[in-house]
Structure 1
Amino acid sequence: MNQKKRLSAIMGTPVQPDAPTPPAPGIPTGYTPVAGATPPPAPEKRPTAARSMAAMWAASRPGPAETDGAVIELDPDLCLPSAIADRVPDATDAAFDAFVAQIREEGQHTPILVRRHPRQDGHYEIAYGRRRTRAAKAIGKPVRAVLRDLSDAELVVAQGSENLAREDLSYIERAHFARNMEQAGIAREVILKAMGVHRPDLANYLAVAEAIPAAVLAAIGPAPKIGRPRWLTLADRIKAAAPERIEAALASADLAGKTSDERFAVVLAALAAQPPRKAKPRAETVKDARGVKFARIERSTDGMRVTLDEKAEPGFADYLAERLPELLATYRQGRG
């Protein structure tokens, strides 16, 4: 069996001829079939679906529009993120600029995965490949995509499978994704499959995501180097802190110009337990019979401090200093 027939058997569809297929009539606005039969460069390290023989074959062949699994070119403005967010935005993500430069120089190796948007006609919902879509938009080029007819559950499972294959998805982003699925009403079994974890692990993700308020997460960002233990420490400090103290930490000027990991450290330090404040000494003034202030007394937990005003009563300070031993002896004798 030659290679084309073997691929035809794997894909379950007739093998396309070598000549480019003309576009089918009635192609929706926003995308056109990819022309040319030259295979693309080696695929990036992406999820299993993108590395499979079927996906690699599809990525290197033109396909008629409206065919499930065809590789097409889409206007990135028509590709909308999944309703269930997995990424935590970070304006300081320098890695994205490098990613855009790579796409501009080498082209997009691996297509994104989309389905027709269930609520917006003429648009598409991204299962995975949101960063590739952003990069294509930044460059001003169409984004290469595989179009599939996916159910809601299939979409989140595909999205989760991509997450597991991405080393740059941080702990809090995984927790954020799990919580977003739960809030969207996704069945627990589907969440487990999408996350590729067991129930105790999922419970840990959900507990951390629940303990970190949205405002804190937005201020910090994805914090790629911060794992579960430190997020739990931050969660404990948030629980113990007054709301105004949390607001002050998030508004701190120390956050400006910092990376996401550095912003985490700033917020964590700002919410650290503060040492107990020493009570200010209680102060009182002493007046003579004429109402003239001649002494100031300050009491604290450590003792008492007496300050005499030399201008009000010159020489009285020396007089008192000389008689302190006598006063102490009298005091002790009085106590028995």
Structure 2
Amino acid sequence: MSRKSSLDAVFQTGPLPVASSPSGPLEASNGPEDVGAPRLEASNAPTAPAPAPRIRSGALAAMGSALEHLASRAEVAEQIETGSAIVELNAELLDGSFVADRVSDATDPTLEALVVSIRDSGQQVPILVRPHPSRNGRYQIAYGHRRARACRTLGTTVRAVIRPLSDAELVVAQGKENLDRRNLSYIERAFFALRLEALTFPRDVICAAMGVHKPDVSNYITVARTIPEHVVAAIGPAPKAGGPRWRALADQIKTAPPNKVDQILIDPTFQARPTDDRFVALLEALTPKAAARKAEVWKDEAGRKLARIERAEQRFTLSLDEKLEPAFGDYLLSRLPEILAAFKAGKE
């Protein structure tokens, strides 16, 4: 969108926001016909002292008023264009980023908390948008999707900064905001990297957006390619599950029997759990269980149950009944080096 068309979208439906004195914010005086038009809230631009009143008449007065209006309009336009002003936008004019970075979670309690916070205290931090590149009069969110969603739920306008961002600038701003404010979970970061790659962004842009090095990006993309997107959607963001466990889940999904994963996902008890519990449930259901073995009992020549042997994966446990042979344990322990040496010699 050109600079002219983006500014036309800002001013097309309402009167010019009027600046107050330096001690007060810039307020927009929009009537009912201004629904959807951005309203200027604040600016860092200085306000010139009011000139002494002058007596004008006829055409000169009309021309002077028109020039003052155009000068004020140009000043406000410059503030909006450079992102030095915070405006209020109709939430219905906002579209999401062209690359998703969040995994939706119907059980997420933090969204309701955000709605309550904005309802009680207002939207404290503005979002960042750009004029939509293909839809005149609309805006595309770089970051602040949850804040915009909360404002839409409340039916309020959204405080925003408008900047003319390229695609690469938008995704870098989007990624850095997530690093600075609310970190994405591991799987959200993995799919963010995969989607950026699918959009043919070079690796250096992906690294800048995610704040990581190229090997990390490769690991993220490998996991995201292995775990189907519908599985991630069913689990949710699972913020407590780090990279090692997501990689373990990816390995189990590759070897899981056909339809086993989907059968777990559609279980109502699975769906009712919080997102981190859903992750644990799926990983445990897919992880093979070690075959249980009964404990063995070793008897001496007299038939006494002198030792108990338990075997598990890579573990051998020997328990002695010291009531029957109180000194045998210490004797066996002292002979372990000799026994181990004999064992090794027999393997040669």
TM range (shorter): 0.5 to 0.7
Q: Distance in 2 between matches of 1:118 and 1:28?
A: 23
Post-superposition offset of 1:251: 1.3
Instruction: Check the 8 A contact 1:73/1:144 in 2, yes or no.
Output: yes
Post-superposition offset of 1:206: 1.1
1:179 maps onto 2:185 in alignment = no
Q: Distance in 1 between matches of 2:35 and 2:199?
A: 30
Q: Against the structure 1 CA distance between its residues 236 and 36, is the aligned structure 2 distance closer, same or farther, given a 3 Å change threshold?
A: closer
> Match for 2:82 among 61, 68, 78?
68
What amino acid maps onto 2:192 in structure 1? F
Mapping of residues 71-82 of structure 1, within 5 Å: 71-82=86-97
> Match for 2:221 among 198, 201, 206?
206
Q: Against the structure 1 CA distance between its residues 16 and 176, is the aligned structure 2 distance closer, same or farther, given a 3 Å change threshold?
A: farther
Q: Distance in 2 between matches of 1:111 and 1:161?
A: 15
Q: Against the structure 1 CA distance between its residues 63 and 82, is the aligned structure 2 distance closer, same or farther, given a 3 Å change threshold?
A: same
Counterpart of 2:121? 106
Post-superposition offset of 1:147: 0.2
Q: Against the structure 1 CA distance between its residues 256 and 21, is the aligned structure 2 distance closer, same or farther, given a 3 Å change threshold?
A: closer
| Residues 124-162 of structure 1: CA deviation (Å, up to 9, x unaligned) | 110000011001111110000000000011001100111
> Match for 2:284 among 247, 263, 269?
269
Counterpart of 1:31? 37
Post-superposition offset of 1:66: 4.9
Counterpart of 2:334? none
Instruction: Check the 8 A contact 2:105/2:236 in 1, yes or no.
Output: yes
Q: Distance in 2 between matches of 1:167 and 1:160?
A: 10
Counterpart of 2:12? none
Counterpart of 2:253? 238
Counterpart of 2:5? none
Instruction: Check the 8 A contact 1:81/1:126 in 2, yes or no.
Output: yes
Instruction: Check the 8 A contact 1:21/1:63 in 2, yes or no.
Output: no
Instruction: Check the 8 A contact 2:38/2:90 in 1, yes or no.
Output: no
Counterpart of 1:255? 270
Mapping of residues 78-93 of structure 1, within 5 Å: 78-93=93-108
Query: SS of the counterpart of 1:31?
Result: coil
Mapping of residues 161-176 of structure 1, within 5 Å: 161-176=176-191
TM-score by length of 1: 0.65
Q: Against the structure 1 CA distance between its residues 37 and 154, is the aligned structure 2 distance closer, same or farther, given a 3 Å change threshold?
A: closer
Q: Distance in 2 between matches of 1:168 and 1:193?
A: 15
% of aligned pairs identical?
Answer: 47
What amino acid maps onto 2:105 in structure 1? D
| Residues 231-259 of structure 1: CA deviation (Å, up to 9, x unaligned) | 01110110001231121121123213210
What amino acid maps onto 1:233 in structure 2? A
Instruction: Check the 8 A contact 2:39/2:89 in 1, yes or no.
Output: no
CA RMSD of aligned residues (A): 2.8
Instruction: Check the 8 A contact 1:86/1:173 in 2, yes or no.
Output: yes
Post-superposition offset of 1:167: 3.5
Post-superposition offset of 1:17: 5.4
What amino acid maps onto 2:256 in structure 1? A
Post-superposition offset of 1:194: 0.8
Greater Rg over alpha carbons, structure: 1
Post-superposition offset of 1:119: 1.7
Q: Distance in 1 between matches of 2:181 and 2:205?
A: 20
Q: Against the structure 1 CA distance between its residues 246 and 36, is the aligned structure 2 distance closer, same or farther, given a 3 Å change threshold?
A: closer
Q: Distance in 1 between matches of 2:150 and 2:143?
A: 13
Instruction: Check the 8 A contact 1:34/1:73 in 2, yes or no.
Output: yes
> Match for 2:149 among 134, 140, 147?
134
Post-superposition offset of 1:117: 0.8
Q: Against the structure 1 CA distance between its residues 199 and 37, is the aligned structure 2 distance closer, same or farther, given a 3 Å change threshold?
A: closer
Which consecutive residues of structure 1, in runs of 5 or more, have no partner in the other structure? 1-14, 39-61, 277-336
> Match for 1:148 among 135, 142, 163?
163
